[in-house]
Amino acid sequence: MKTSNQYSRRDILRKSAISATGLCLLPASLAIAEQYPSKRPLPNARRFRSKAVDAKIESVAATMRDPELAWLFSNCLPNTLDTTVTTSTFQGHPDTIVITGDIDAMWLRDSSAQVWPYLPFVSADADLATMIQGLIRRQTRCILIDPYANAFLADLNSKDTLSWSKSDETQMKAGVGERKWEVDSLCYPVRLAHGYWKQSGDTSPFDATWIEAMHRIVTTFREQQRKSSPGPYSFRRTSDRPTETLGAEGFGTASHPNGLIYSGFRPSDDACTYPLNIPGNFFAVQTLLRLEEMFTEIAHDSTAARDANLLAAEVESALKQYAKSHHPQAGEIWAYEIDGFGNALFMDDANVPNLLSLPYLGCCSQSDAVYQTTRRFVLNDANPYFYRGSVAEGIGGPHVGQNMIWPMSIIMRALTTHDEQEQIQCLRWLKKSHAGSGFMHESFHKDDAAKFTRAWFAWANTLFGELILTIAKNSPLMLARSSF
């Protein structure tokens, strides 16, 4: 008789297949399991385990007739939990660090987006709720350390930095890994906090410290409207890449104040060409409206709620007046960046928030006429960072160079359409792009998926899992197709 540590690989695969289906294992099922062995760490090596998430993986995968797609989903959805989470306590409360993957630091943006797809499971999994509560508390501490920073170290008392930040000319503080000011860095933690509250009803993370951090966000947004001065933030870095630093003594490209919020860098961590980033400002409006609701319902602070509402209205008014520009081929669309002097940059970048993602982030409806016109532009050769090749088509950006498509852009394309044929095509491209790894990457070459960047990029993995969950909810028959 075999002991628990004497099971063969075939036995383990057979047990996994039975667990996933609840049925006796057929030879064909075993063949599939052997062809696509799980890329997840062994259970005892996983950083965090959620019974609710694992149960959902099993139930959804059992409905998917395409074995490779089911395998990708089963690897990708739990990747953040499996590999990037560290839980602890701080001053008697949960404390959670979520690194990006192959970079050992926590980005406010990435960490929020990485756990977002798990929010629907917090009511059924108390441990998962505690983990996310710990992340909200950790992000709160980070914002209070420096609202202008984008990335933080695990040790918030450390005076070290990320390797490429050591000689940056900016006001580095302990615990900061990198200090690139990006509007969306302060938007994502609010989105996560609001989403957690709505899913769980739990208000315990939203204490006086959290409220102080939220006030700091509103203050920072107002500072970066730059109505009377450039504000306290500047940044310079010695680099052979111009997208790694800001000009004008570190204050960025000259621009004219018009009510929009300035950003030094994009969600890609590349410097803005023009500092009024349109997707970031759309996201900021939604952020401020969420803060207004939470100030009202949780903090019972009508003054703070009114302040957030007034700023949201001001930024929204500026977007209505300045965000749209006329493109010679596409017509009237939203620009990606503007400078307030009348100059506009027509492009889209794969990183979210981008123009493509605006409905996903709740900034507009999918049917919005300007969005649809803009969407056609960004998914077309008129967008300088749209690439079409033998593997797939999608959006890239200057961060990793020409002809490199980000799977994130293909996933976002599928998440911002009701057209099932378009979604099916996106799934086909995603299947072709993983180069046998079983995971999404940061980017891949349009004609050769084996040429990719970042083998361990948890945000893209979890976002792919979210796509499959969304399709399973809205169009379950699509996943019952025999193949894609």
Rounded mean pLDDT, 172-188: 98
* Count of CA atoms in the C-beta half-sphere (13 A) of 346: 22
Residue with the bigger pLDDT between 20 and 82: it is 82
Shared domain check, 472 and 334: no
For residue 89, what is the enclosing H or E element? strand 85-90
State yes or no: pLDDT of 13 exceeds 50. Answer: no
% of the chain beyond a pLDDT of 90: 92
From 380, 405, 424, the end of a domain falls on 380
From 380, 402, 424, the end of a domain falls on 380
State yes or no: pLDDT of 2 exceeds 90. Answer: no
pLDDT tens per residue across span 282-295: 999 999 999 999 99
pLDDT tens per residue across span 347-367: 999 999 999 999 999 999 999
Shared domain check, 175 and 194: yes
CA atoms of 255 and 342, how far apart (whole Å): 10
At residue 35, the pLDDT reads 87
Q: Tokens for 241?
A: 């890449």
The answer to whether 14 touches 30, Cβ cutoff 8 Å, is yes
Rounded mean pLDDT, 203-218: 98
pLDDT tens per residue across span 323-345: 999 999 999 999 999 999 999 99
The range of the structural domain enclosing residue 96 comes to 84-380
* Count of CA atoms in the C-beta half-sphere (13 A) of 448: 4
pLDDT tens per residue across span 48-65: 999 999 999 999 999 999
User: Cis link prior to 353 (omega < 30° from 0)?
Assistant: yes
Q: How confident is the model at residue 72 (pLDDT cuts 50, 70, 90)?
A: very high
Q: Return the ∠ at Cα 137 (arms to 81 and 299), rounded to 5°.
A: 130
From 328, 352, 380, the end of a domain falls on 380
At residue 483, the pLDDT reads 77
Shared domain check, 246 and 368: yes
CATH of the domain at 257: 1.50.10.10
The answer to whether 146 touches 74, Cβ cutoff 8 Å, is no
At residue 390, the pLDDT reads 98
At residue 32, the pLDDT reads 56
Question: Taking all residues of the chain, what is their mean pLDDT, rounded to a whole number?
Answer: 93
143: CB partners within 8 A, 6+ apart: 108, 186, 189, 213, 216, 217
Q: Residue 38, Cβ neighbours under 10 Å: how many?
A: 14
Model pTM score: 0.93
State yes or no: pLDDT of 4 exceeds 70. Answer: no
State yes or no: pLDDT of 10 exceeds 50. Answer: no
CA atoms of 221 and 219, how far apart (whole Å): 5
Residue with token string 């409006």: 285
Shared domain check, 251 and 214: yes
Alpha helices in 179-236 (DSSP H): 183-200, 208-223
pLDDT tens per residue across span 403-437: 999 999 999 999 999 999 999 999 999 999 999 99
How does strand 176-178 pair with strand 151-152?
Answer: antiparallel
State yes or no: pLDDT of 3 exceeds 60. Answer: no
At residue 5, the pLDDT reads 38
At residue 25, the pLDDT reads 41
